[in-house]
Amino acid sequence: MLGSGGLGCDETTVTLIVPPTIPAIDPHDPRSKRVHEVIRRAHQKDRKSINARMWAYRAFEIPVNVFDFTVSRHRDGPDEFLKDFAGHLMADCWSGFQKIELRSNARIVRAACWSHARRKVFEARSSHPQQASVLLAMIRELYDLEDRAKLLSPGERFALRERESRPVLGHIRAYVDSDVLTCVLPKSDFAEALGYLRNHWDALQVFLSDGRLPIDNNDVEQLMKQVAVGRKNWLFVGSVEAGVRAATLLTIVSTAVRNDLDVWAYINDVLVQLLSGSTDYASLRADVWKQSHPEAIRTYRSDERRDAADRKRFRRARRRQLKQARSKPD
């Protein structure tokens, strides 16, 4: 996954029970210093639990999801995870991701998520409904183009974006900088949404540079639901080691789900092979394993995704037709 050239990242909280003793710093473990510091501070404040983090990384080109556990949201978690990664990183505009990009010496190029930008404008629409509706309409036009691009090859998608998406982005930037918005109060939520667009404009345009890149980070954010389901069941993580094991299990199960596998059949076979002494780990990766076990593929899942995508494309195509019909002179 780290060699694939493009991945998305997101994170969510998990409750970690503070261990009774402060773990020592292991010079061979780059994360042990942060674990030691966080647990020591929790002991000093007599806290019984802390908000740890579960990170999700999703490769764009290969069907692999990887989860990672850290005791805090500090950037050294993704920084250490991505130390050998080179390519595009799709993530939100948290300052930690921006600093990771800066310290990578152009090894990592951060792409911002248009879903976040759209959400900020949508949530601020009550104070300036007319101006927000104009912006939302242009962003929706971007997504309509992406809807058309989903069935294209990366090269064709790149050409479509250059031909049609780039002009739309130009219109959005021109509107954001126009005199029409001088009436927006600087302390309003809508002004904050405009500031988000201006401050992250370069990162919001990165998806134009590569047809393999998505326009947003929605697929990665969907992985947070898998953590949330688990969090609702097990409520908390009992130790740092348990958090690492949970991340490993989430990685295996989530990747199996992404490959439309019968998860029980896959994990059972993997465990049987490992316990029998197999060291051919590459063949046990979910996307490789499925090639020799077609009976374990749940084809109805891909059918459901295709049907849902078809319904969405139909609705958007219908909306475009109605828009074109209204714009024609009588």
125-178 residue pLDDT tens:
888 889 999 999 999 999 989 988 888 999 999 999 999 999 999 999 999 999
173 and 234, same structural domain?
no
84 and 21, same structural domain?
yes
Residue 80: give the domain boundaries: 6-112+218-248
Residue 304 maps to a domain? no
Per-residue model confidence (pLDDT) at position 183: 80
Ranges of residues in the chain with a pLDDT under 50 are none
33 and 69, same structural domain?
yes
What is the phi-psi region of residue 268: left when phi exceeds 0, alpha when psi lies from -120 to 50, beta otherwise? alpha
Per-residue model confidence (pLDDT) at position 318: 78
Distance of CA 53 to the CA centre of its chain: 15
Residue 107 maps to a domain? yes
Per-residue model confidence (pLDDT) at position 330: 61
List the one residue out of 282, 240, 264 whose CA is nearest residue 68.
240
Residue 170 maps to a domain? yes
284 and 158, same structural domain?
no
57 and 145, same structural domain?
no
105 and 26, same structural domain?
yes
137 and 90, same structural domain?
no
In the chain, the number of structural domains is 3
Per-residue model confidence (pLDDT) at position 303: 81
92 and 32, same structural domain?
yes
Q: Is the dihedral of CA 78, 79, 80, 85 positive or negative?
A: positive
Per-residue model confidence (pLDDT) at position 14: 95
185 and 121, same structural domain?
yes
Cα–Cα distances in angstroms (integers) from residue 91 to residues 94, 110, 202, in the given order = 8, 7, 14
151 and 56, same structural domain?
no
Residue 224 maps to a domain? yes
Residue 82 maps to a domain? yes
Residue 179 maps to a domain? yes
Per-residue model confidence (pLDDT) at position 48: 94
H-only helix segments in the chain: 32-44, 76-81, 95-103, 114-123, 129-149, 154-160, 166-176, 189-199, 201-204, 218-234, 240-258, 263-275, 286-289, 299-327
70 DSSP β-pair partners: 53
108 and 230, same structural domain?
yes
122 and 106, same structural domain?
no
Per-residue model confidence (pLDDT) at position 52: 95
